[in-house]
Amino acid sequence: MAVELGGIFDSAIKNSLFKNKSHLQSNYSPQSIPHREKQIESVASIMAPVLRGERCSNLFLYGKTGTGKTLSVLYVRDEILKRAKEMGIEIRIEYLNCKLKKVSDTEYRILAALIEQLGGSIPSTGLPTQHVYSKFIEIIDSKKQLVVIIFDEIDQAVKKMSSDFLYTLLRMNAELSKAQISMIGISNDVTFLDNIDPRVRSSLGEEEILFPTYNAVQLQDILKERCLEAFKEGVVDDGVIAKCSALAAREHGDARRALDLLRIAGELAEREGEKRITVEYLDNANKKIERDKILDLVETQPTQCQIVLYSILSLTQERKDEKENKLFFTGDVFNLYQELCAKLKLEILTQRRVSDIIADFDMLGLINANVISKGRHGRTREIKLSIPSNLLIKVEEILKESLGI
């Protein structure tokens, strides 16, 4: 990273392509959000009652990643807070992303994070959960106020815990005497509401708003607007924007990804001292994003998982040498894994665990594993490495390095 920054500084001083790069970063909130007028209006009208000092309905927003859910809600929040300040009303609207590392995935931590945002403090561990609950209620109920809590990526939280947590939170109004709370849930999983506790469903989903994915044309508008602010004039071709939005539209209309793509393409072009961004840089950026993601993933795996991955890697190469794409299975991986552990003098995890690790890799997209039945010869996973072949050598290096082979 240090190298990258150095390059940016150098060319930023001389002839940067960027006018203001922050406008392309995902945490930037633009003044206008194209093609989301309707949704923003809905959110605003649902939340408006808080300005009259009334509790607003619970709200649930859903749509795929990068469709502007978070952006829209935060925009409405800022507007409401601005207005409330003018009118001298006290409203608290807290935003919490359930997926952040810090928050992780337990009710304890979510509550702890909320308490912290509300100005209290709570140790990171060591307290009974009940205690944390009462502290939370105490803080909220300390004075007459309206509290709106926005849970971003709420599906992540529920996946790990249970919907009981949400139920308790939703019911909390009954325990509050002075204050009142409402909740806004944001989810990437469109089917989230369908498979949770119906009690939670009915109260969290008092109002629902769907954020549809952007199509290529809409993405193009968004990109154009941001480009005006982010890049200097004449740096970006129309063709580049078109291609960029087409690429992103193909991948589920994710605006965030489109912006990342453009930014990285810009950085790449800048580093090579180009005056304008061409289509090739987009392709390179696309590759670079993928590459960085995989390498980072591999690098940050715990040792045991790395050994499993290394086993898979070895098996892939072994089988490729022999015949064309002979597949292998969980059992093969586990055997090789055991040998490796013995060689490295590490303790051997159970097959049960290794099976889970393999399933995790599948989730992460490092491998492709299908459960198949080989009839009389049992049921197992058919495993295929899905790391692009140009990265294989690099990945192998990383693994060898960190395992000390």
Q: How many helices (H) and strands (E) does the chain have?
A: 16, 8
Using the contact rule CB under 7 A, the part of the chain among 73-81, 150-158, 267-275, 344-352 near DNA is: 344-352
Binding residue for DNA, selected from 11, 42, 316, 380, defined by CB under 7 A:
380
Q: Does 27 bind DNA (CB under 7 A)?
A: no
Q: Does 404 bind DNA (CB under 7 A)?
A: no
Residues 333 and 315: beta-carbon distance below 8 Å: yes
The span from the CA of 16 to the CA of 13, in Å, is: 7
Q: Does 347 bind DNA (CB under 7 A)?
A: yes
Which of 184, 187, 182 lies closest to 156, judged by CA?
187
What is the smallest separation between the CB atom of 122 and DNA, expressed in angstroms? 8
Q: Does 198 bind DNA (CB under 7 A)?
A: no
The span from the CA of 336 to the CA of 207, in Å, is: 53
Q: Does 257 bind DNA (CB under 7 A)?
A: no
Binding residue for DNA, selected from 358, 366, 385, 399, defined by CB under 7 A:
358
- Burial of residue 195 (CB within 10 Å: 0-12, 13-18, 19+) is exposed
The span from the CA of 203 to the CA of 198, in Å, is: 9
Q: Does 39 bind DNA (CB under 7 A)?
A: no
> Binding mask 299-328 vs DNA (x if CB under 7 A, - otherwise)?
---x-x------------------------
| CA–centroid distance for 318 within its chain | 35
Binding residue for DNA, selected from 279, 341, 359, 391, defined by CB under 7 A:
359
Q: Which is nearer to DNA, 17 or 312 (CB)?
A: 312
Q: By rule CB under 7 A, what count of residues binds DNA? A: 42
Q: Which is nearer to DNA, 181 or 333 (CB)?
A: 333
Q: Which is nearer to DNA, 114 or 248 (CB)?
A: 114
| CA–centroid distance for 43 within its chain | 22
Coil vs helix vs strand at 79: helix
Q: Does 30 bind DNA (CB under 7 A)?
A: no
The span from the CA of 22 to the CA of 265, in Å, is: 15
Coil vs helix vs strand at 75: helix
Q: Which is nearer to DNA, 135 or 256 (CB)?
A: 135
Q: Which of positions 77-136 make contact with DNA (CB under 7 A)?
A: 104-109, 123-130
The span from the CA of 214 to the CA of 14, in Å, is: 36
Which of 298, 279, 267 lies closest to 391, judged by CA?
298
What is the smallest separation between the CB atom of 314 and DNA, expressed in angstroms? 17
Angle at 295 between CA 293 and CA 296, to 5 degrees: 65
Binding residue for DNA, selected from 355, 364, 384, 392, defined by CB under 7 A:
355
Binding site for DNA (CB under 7 A): 104-109, 123-130, 302, 304, 329-332, 334, 347-353, 355-356, 358-359, 371, 373-381
